[in-house]
Structure 1
Amino acid sequence: MRDYIKRFIIAIIMAICVSLLFLGGKHSEAAGINKNEVITNHWIWPADGIISDTYGTRHGRHKGIDIAGRINTPILAVLDGVVEKSYYSNTYGNVVFIKHQNGFVTVYAHLNKRQVYKGQKIKQGDCLGEMGQTGQATGTHLHFEVHHFEWRYDKKYALDPEKLLGKADVGESVQAGITKVGDSVLAASSQIRSQQHDSSATLNKYVVKEGDTLYTISHKLKTSVRAVKNLNHLTTDLIKPKQILYVP
């Protein structure tokens, strides 16, 4: 009888331990997902243009998205990071690789010009170069890729960029500086006049806070509402919290 009771108690203890391990594992997994959602909620689109090709086409060999646009359209960093590579490739043409702290690597290919160098620290929205048709490219466009952990020749860790930037079908227009927060989209500047394009002006990024208006922002930064609207190509006075504005 005593042996039976001991076995029964041991079985209960083991069941409790297994339950705790299971719950702990679920909690860690959920925490990881939530953290990843926070990380990817603030990516911005890298260029103005029209989606000309999406991830997974060409029998699964196309491991990025293509944004077709005008020659020399500014190409923006989607997130803070460090330039891992900046060079000319026979396939990618002028290409920039950026390593981000969250473990992602982004690739910007077929650029007409590169404006950053290996090891350079980059802020979200910084101009990396200009859209072009270098390397194995048909037409002027940006080929943009996202990789988790590292870029490999076999592109084992490639991800669909639209999962991080937001959904856009072929033929749809996208705007540089747009960021996705949940289901809503917050607009930033559509065309960035970087310091490389206008040496007479130095631009700063301003993140809109709760209660901000264009008037309070321009007054605080000693500029005009018209200057802020023109610089960011705003057609109305409507702005939203967490929106990125470029100011003199």
Structure 2
Amino acid sequence: MKIQSDIQRKIKLNSSSHTKVGVMLSLLFMGLGQLYHKQIVKGFLFITLEIYLIVFWTLPFRWAMWGLTTLGDTPLTRKGFDVVQGDHSIFLMIEGIIFLILFLLFVWLYYLNILDAYKVGKLRDQGIDANSFKQTALYVWEKGFPYLLLTPSILFTAFLTILPLLFGALIAFTNYSGPNHLPPKSLVNWVGIQTFTDLFQLSMWSHTFYGVFSWTVIWAILSTVTTFFLGLFFAILINRKGIRFKKL
């Protein structure tokens, strides 16, 4: 009996490492944890995706991050009658933001890869075999169908909503202005909070800025109070017993 219990304890200790090993391998490289869990097709899909991104997207990503951080270093020049195109700071900023969003989506996918290896490892620790690729695809189709339908909306939101918002926010920290800092004729540079400092200090702009800022804050507070709290008040009032003329 003692030998049998020792064997069962050793088996349990060995099996309890499935979660840890799967997570560490998936953290090291996408898909390795899935291969360890004997999910061959899923593992090779993750591995192929990461290899593709490393091989074909590393240099474009580095170029995009260089453009986002520097906004270019070569302005437009003229040599006689010829115009030599330089770096377009605004295009570099937009390209950098696009690659930054794509990188965040890749980080999210990497997290899902680790999370998947963790969940499968937990099942193996409990003595449950990992799903085959067919079972996984069927599960995703049945349980994850709403997420599949939302994927286009997530992508459209990322590039049609988040991208313009980030661009509008970042452009405020540059010296983008006419006539001296308008691409492609001239480069645009990062100036930090200097633009906001000028808005507060310059008398010709500060009064307008304070007025717009104050009205924006007041409008945000009033619109929130009237739409949310007033609606909540009426909802509570209507649901109270004894209130007459509820339809009205």
Shared topology, TM-score over 0.5? no
Per residue, is there more strand in 1 or in 2?
1
Per residue, is there more helix in 1 or in 2?
2
Normalised by the length of structure 1, the TM-score is: 0.26
Normalised by the length of structure 2, the TM-score is: 0.26
